[in-house]
Amino acid sequence: MRNRPEGAASTLLAASASEPLLRLRDFTVAERGGAAIVRGVDLSLARGETLGIVGESGCGKSLTWLAALRLLGPDVVTGGEATLEGRNLARLSERELAGVRGGRIALVVQDPSSALNPVQRIGTQLAEVLRLHRGLRGEAARREALRLLDRVGIADASRRLRQYPHEFSGGMNQRVVIALALAGEPDVLIADEPTTALDATIQAQVLDLIRDIRRETGMALVLISHDIGVVGDLCDRIAVMYAGRIVETAATQDLLTCPRHPYTQGLLAALPTLDGPRRRLTPIAGTVPAPAAIPPGCAFAPRCPAAVERCGRELPALVIAAQDQRAACLRLAELPPPMARTLPEAAPLRRLGVPA
């Protein structure tokens, strides 16, 4: 996101998608000498696009992107490819990779306390990122730090620069983490459960902030969440993960109104709404299997109400279910497509009664 003029977002969205900005191809992640945790993930992200990654805890959502950025250390090995504009991230030197992390691809983590240094002032931490990725120092860095804090909605920025993370609330610290991510002017923002520890009102404010910044800058966004309602509120496309694999991908509207994989259907059946008649939520029985205990065949088969005997033997491929919609289900052609759901115009978060 280097020196983009205003209105760049619409220009980038209309640009040719011949070469994805960021791409995972047959990407795998495993502990050295252990079982595979993420298996055969294929995903692409175009410039200016928003991609949601959804699934329960333990499905490999965060691990996939942390491994792609080589943030998991030497005990984790990867296979396949993770490329940025065609460059394989696994082949970059540590120096080259340092320029990518924070400069080209920025990460917003779910726990700001783990991302912020508790013994450094907020201004010092912002200044370090501005120096590393944009070469700003002294008064220039201070002015830009003030602008970033103001942009993420932190009042009295001049005073706040001199304070420490423990003097901020959880929501304010998350805004600081977003400011740190924006400081390097990235092309891609990966937001990993950015509102998990926040109350409902602050959650909505942080998500609105991410939406507004993305529209202004035109940067691409990967939003990782266990909450399909949150992802549906922000993203152009959604990929659903289960037990380390992608089980369904589609445009957001298509996936929310006509999900094809039984797991996606289960996630939506468990989503509460305030509109329409009252209904009992339908939980998905069981839990996500551990990587070492993933059954043969379809990993979701033990929890799937539509499973038959062969589902426990054969591994389903991700195949076309409808135009621009793919699902990994052996019974895709046998089961009738679900009745199309009608979504109200309000976004999913608003349907849950969360104020703006």
Q: Any idea what DSSP says for residue 327?
A: E
Question: For the segment 213-239, what is each residue's pLDDT rounded down to a tens digit?
Answer: 999 999 999 999 988 888 988 999 999
Residue 157 has pLDDT above 60, yes or no: yes
More confident position, 323 or 314: 314
Question: For the segment 20-73, what is each residue's pLDDT rounded down to a tens digit?
Answer: 999 999 999 999 988 899 999 999 999 999 999 999 999 999 999 999 999 998
**How much is the pLDDT for 198?**
81
Confidence of residue 342 (pLDDT cuts 50, 70, 90): low
**How much is the pLDDT for 246?**
98
* Mean pLDDT (whole number) for 332-350: 62
**How much is the pLDDT for 270?**
84
Tell which residue, 97, 114, 55, 3, has the closest CA to residue 263.
Answer: 55
Distance CA 341, CA 327 (A): 18
Confidence of residue 348 (pLDDT cuts 50, 70, 90): very low
What is the fold of 20-91+227-275+287-339?
Answer: Rossmann fold (3.40.50)
* Mean pLDDT (whole number) for 151-157: 94
What one-letter code names the amino acid at 135? G
CB neighbourhood size of 119 (10 A): 8
More confident position, 183 or 19: 183
Which pair of tokens denotes residue 97?
């990779």
**How much is the pLDDT for 86?**
93
Cβ atoms 238, 353 nearer than 8 A: no
Average pLDDT taken over every residue of the chain = 88
Confidence of residue 14 (pLDDT cuts 50, 70, 90): very low
Residue 15 has pLDDT above 70, yes or no: no
* Mean pLDDT (whole number) for 169-177: 93
Tell which residue, 57, 33, 37, has the closest CA to residue 291.
Answer: 37
Distance CA 183, CA 148 (A): 7
**How much is the pLDDT for 8?**
41
- Could you give the strand order of the β-sheet that contains 50-54, starting from the edge strand earlier in sequence? 105-108, 188-192, 220-225, 50-54, 237-242, 245-251, 325-327, 319-322
More confident position, 288 or 113: 288
* Mean pLDDT (whole number) for 112-128: 94
Name the pTM for this structure: 0.88
**Greatest extent of the chain over all pairs of C-alpha atoms, in Å:** 68
More confident position, 274 or 60: 60
Chain-centre distance for alpha carbon 92: 23
Tell which residue, 309, 305, 307, 288, has the closest CA to residue 240.
Answer: 288
Question: For the segment 247-265, what is each residue's pLDDT rounded down to a tens digit?
Answer: 999 999 999 999 999 999 9
CA dihedral (130, 119, 108, 144) positive or negative: negative
Residue 323 has pLDDT above 90, yes or no: no
